Chains A and B, each alone.
Chain A
Amino acid sequence: MTYTALAVAAVVLTVVLDLVVLRTRLLLRRVFWVAYAIVLFFQLISNGVLTGRDVVTYDEGVIVRLRVAYAPVEDLLFGFALVVQSMCWWVHFAATGRRRRPRRHGG
């Protein structure tokens, strides 16, 4: 499989993990998108260093050759999957093992 195919598959599986498997529904929440925007900003800098300075180099045959801040566009999908999966498991492990109390107020 190409990096492109793997990266697209990873995004699809990540969405399924959030919405269907763990039902953390982070992708539907404002707090996630604000946090993700902040992470993305720093990702573009750190990954820009790694790819711009050729710490990591890619086989041009397995990517679409569209680059954002020196990095293959696939890295944005890879990063999305890594960041979202991390947040999902974190939220998931907050909910399990604790008794849920009924909410007194509207929220």
Chain B
Amino acid sequence: MTYVFVLAGIVLVTLPLGIWTGVYAQWKRLALTLLPVLVVFVAWDVYAIARGHWQFDPAQTTGVRIGSVPLEELLFFVAVPVASVIALEAVRKARGWDYR
């Protein structure tokens, strides 16, 4: 379950900032953002797993897989983009920089 705890950590740390910045409220924009990112990085993950570039410890993952991809990986490709967007918006709001 180590991987799940890491994912939970990413979500918990960014949760208050996600609310403060209004990122979660813009869920449609967030969904549009996730779509191309998921396509690219899940494809990379599928390729890397197939070629043996990396593998996952069965003892530290849930064992749930969608095709060859562990559930945690799919959640990672949602959690990290959302956390990244929250970081960008938090800096923008805190400094009043408006994307520059």
Spell out A's residues near B (CB within 8 Å).
2-3, 6, 10, 26, 29-32, 34-36, 38-39, 42, 46, 49-50, 53-59, 62, 78-79, 82-83, 85-87, 89-91, 93-94, 107
> Tally of A-B residue pairs with Cβ under 8 A?
116
Spell out B's residues near A (CB within 8 Å).
2-3, 6, 9-10, 13, 29-30, 32-34, 36-37, 40-41, 44, 47-48, 51-57, 60-61, 77, 80-85, 87-88, 90-92, 95, 97-100
Main secondary structure of the interface of B (DSSP, over half): helix
Q: With A29-B99, A31-B99, A57-B54 known to touch, is A90 a contact of B85 (CB < 8 Å)?
A: yes
Could you tell me if B10 and A42 are in contact, using CB atoms closer than 8 angstroms? yes
Q: With A38-B91, A42-B10, A90-B88 known to touch, is A30 a contact of B32 (CB < 8 Å)?
A: no
Could you tell me if A83 and B33 are in contact, using CB atoms closer than 8 angstroms? no
